[in-house]
Amino acid sequence: MSEQEPRDFIRQIIHDDLESGKHSEIVTRFPPEPNGYLHIGHVMSICLNFGVAAETGGRTFLRLDDTNPGKESPEYVDAIKRDVHWLGFDWEDRLTHASDYFGQLHDSAVRLIELGVAYVDSLSAEEIREHRGTLTEPGTNSPFRDRSVEENLDLFRRMHAGEFGDGEHVLRAKIDMASPNMNMRDPAVYRIRHIPHQNAGDEWCIYPMYDFAHGLSDAYEGITHSLCTLEFEDHRPLYDWFLDQLQPEHRPRQIEFSRLNLAYAITSKRKLSALVEEGIVNGWDDPRMPTIAGMRRRGYPPAAMREFVKRAGVTKKDKLIEMGALETCVRDTLGDVAERRMAVLRPLKVVLTNYPEGQVETMEAMNHPANPEMGTREMPFSRELWIEQDDFMEEAPRKFFRLKPGGEVRLRFGYIIKCDEVIKNDAGEVVELRCSYDPDTRSGTGSSDRKVKGTIHWVSCEHAIDATVRLYDRLFTEANPNAASDFHSVLNPNSLETISARLEPALGELAAGQAVQFERLGYFCADEKDDADEARVINRIVTLRDSWAKLEKQAMQKQG
């Protein structure tokens, strides 16, 4: 970061710690739980943790906090690694797991027992909840809270040895059942789970709780700044309590920042999992999902994701960011680098009645109007063409400057044509236009100075490539679907429209995931999973203009 740029509060803390000599190197970590795919909220944490370390010459660990084997899988681990790399970050040799430290964590739990600040509780999960109290009433001590150190050590050893069933005992920290902070009311430290672990296999049948494992894993790795979102603010006293009791060699500092909430999206893994399991979307990487995998498949470039979180900023204030802000970053990123192509999404046939049958001309088309260095391509032009249905109107208003009966329009990189006749089917629908072309008006020849107000795109019927195009929209109709009593009630029934389109021949060479701009229509890419040479499947990344801008503005104002 440039010295002239204003620092967010976290970067200011880190700057001050380096200036004062408190730390000579910054070490951060990104610690996702491998119980689902990463989403847009994680992008903020990834960019922040890797970013602040890189800016100061420090290091970042990618640590899988895998303390809950019942919900974790290698699939999620692989997806997390793929997503972080795609965003442009490299943990080098610093890929770790909380399970790598299970031995040290177990020994730390034993130490807590020996210090007299942890005990084995034999209450059931329901009884523990009943003893815990409420936000307005203190909890009550477990009848097993005063077990001797020797008894607790023996029971914990037997828990480790597998003598007990799931839930029969739990190791708890002995803190304060009357604390106003519910997290400090004798929280669980270890529980029994006879479940194989995705990384540790069958070695363990007791597993540490997240709050216990997280801070100590930070300490083991020499993390200087443990950056996490605001929902962990109430957990910080417990984070520090474990460190106070065990006095590890390295003492990390937890700092919280506001999470990134995106309008018209949900980031609850439970709800995202429900969307997948109920078949509402086609997997975690469905392009409508706010997962990194979904946004990658849709065609969002990683540079746009990084720019989005940069613009959103790091603060302590909860914020709901407009979806349009993310899409603006996508447009800004693709605008300079995406080559232009022509495609017709809803085809209407045009027959040039005065154009020689069998003749094919080659039109030279620019790949990017603002960047001549990106070169040109050749487009075949023939007697029969496809144009967009929306580019013709039989009863057109005065300011409609596209094709209409008796009207003229220029074909992009081609000729001026005039609509002479409209052909309809038995249902009265327009199925074909008979037009004539002016041979003296070919683009780029300078042979005619005749002007028309409208220019439309086209594709030669004979040379067009058939394609399935998926038009994606918001998954929800409300800016804050979490506010609904049931998020199913605000699902957008029009979040996906699948159409049959016609593409110019150059799009036959489009690589999977490669983004291009379909002139006048938006940015598109070949689907990285379903596209094939014999059956093109194209995803719309984003439209050229934000059609939701007004609605989003009203919705955000309503949210306050």
Residue positions annotated with a catalytic role = 33, 259, 269
Q: Assess contact for 385 and 348: CB atoms under 8 A.
A: no
Q: In this structure, which amino acid lies at residue 450?
A: R
- Among candidates 190, 187, 170, 43, which has minimal Cα distance to 105? 190
Q: Assess contact for 457 and 388: CB atoms under 8 A.
A: yes
Edge to edge, the sheet with strand 384-388 lists 455-456, 408-411, 416-424, 430-438, 347-352, 384-388, 459-460
- Among candidates 361, 367, 363, 364, which has minimal Cα distance to 341? 367
Q: Assess contact for 396 and 503: CB atoms under 8 A.
A: no
Q: Give the number of C-alpha atoms closer than 13 A to the C-alpha of residue 74, restricted to the C-beta side.
A: 6
For 134, residues 6+ apart whose C-beta sits below 8 A from its C-beta are none
Task: Report the DSSP beta bridge partners of residue 376.
Answer: 366
Q: Assess contact for 199 and 64: CB atoms under 8 A.
A: yes
For 412, residues 6+ apart whose C-beta sits below 8 A from its C-beta are 342, 365, 443, 455, 456, 457, 458, 519
Q: Assess contact for 92 and 53: CB atoms under 8 A.
A: no
Decide: helix, strand or coil at residue 50. helix
Q: Assess contact for 548 and 479: CB atoms under 8 A.
A: no
Q: Assess contact for 379 and 365: CB atoms under 8 A.
A: yes
Q: Where are the alpha helices (DSSP H) in 5-98?
A: 9-20, 40-55, 74-86
Q: Measure the CA–CA gap between 199 and 107, rounded to whole angstroms.
A: 19
Question: What tokens appear for 132 in the block?
Answer: 């815990």
Distances (CA, A) of 262 to 43, 51, 290, 308, 535: 12, 21, 9, 11, 34
Task: Report the DSSP beta bridge partners of residue 28.
Answer: 60
